[in-house]
Amino acid sequence: MNLKPAIRYQLREYLVSCLVFWAINALLIGIGFLVLSLNLGSGDRSGYTYNGYGFACAIFFLVFGLILPRQAIRLCVQMGVSRRTTFLSLFLSALLPAVCLSLAGELLLSLAQFAADHTQFQLEFSDLFSMIYLKQGLPLTFLQHTASILFSAACMLACYSLGLFFTFLFWRLNKVGCIVAALAIPASLIGFPPLLAKAEEVFPPVRTLFLTLGDTFFHSPWGAILLLLVVVLLFSLIGWLLIRRTNIRGGMLSSK
């Protein structure tokens, strides 16, 4: 298996992009401290809350799944790498950046909150994990930090697998199929909540299942991590079934 070169080809782009993304978040936090220091000088004691890191990371990896895999697959197939190896390399290439971004984010938010707690700045730093599972202002234990890191990484991988699914789906469909899918997917997302609300009358087990899954997700971080990994596995399986028979043509090499 040519797994190592396939991963090395993609990993550099992922890591550089993640570094730039993390630096932007650090810059935003620095700007927050600067703004508060200027406000303190003018007598304004207003505070700010920064809690968008985890959500931004998830969207960041969703975009990764939408735009990067197509180029990587074409080049790997052109260089003689099998589809199975290429598909596996997509997730292994995303796994390390997801964990690194989770670790770096946890460190960044913890240091920023520590600095805010020991200064006059009224800044509050939290993340998706803290907002869902912890009370505001409650310090995290080592186990909770670990759960937060794994939860963030699982969210990123779930969004990444969703992006891969959409990439492979529209790659496989013809023009008419792409139009139908582009119209059907938003319509399904809009119509699903009302349908679920009425499902108790028609399909009681379906509604009970979704309510149980939602309760598990919002009340247990470890259960949420497990559910997110199931989502990764599900969309990965569907993505593999789509890509294994897709007509893939390598990039054109121009010569002068």
Residue 253 DSSP one-character state: P
pLDDT at 253: 44
- For 163, the domain range is 3-172+220-243
Backbone angles phi, psi at 49, to 5 degrees: -125, 135
Q: Is 116 inside any structural domain? A: yes
pLDDT at 45: 54
Based on the structure, what is the number of domains in the chain?
1
pLDDT at 250: 56
* Nearest of 132, 127, 135, 105 to residue 227 by alpha carbon: 132
Distance CA 62, CA 79 (A): 26
Q: What six digits make up the tokens of 38?
A: 């200027």
* Nearest of 171, 168, 2 to residue 80 by alpha carbon: 2
Distance CA 180, CA 214 (A): 30
- Alpha-helical runs (H) found in the chain: 3-41, 53-67, 69-78, 83-117, 128-133, 142-172, 175-202, 204-219, 221-243
Distance CA 224, CA 215 (A): 9
Please list the ranges in the chain whose pLDDT falls under 50: 252-256
pLDDT at 202: 56
Q: Is 60 inside any structural domain? A: yes
The tokens 């020991």 sit on which residue?
118
Q: Which residues contact 216 (CB under 8 A, 6 or more apart)?
A: 223, 224, 227
pLDDT at 256: 38
CB distance 156 to 164 below 8 Å? no
Q: Is 89 inside any structural domain? A: yes
Q: Is 192 inside any structural domain? A: no
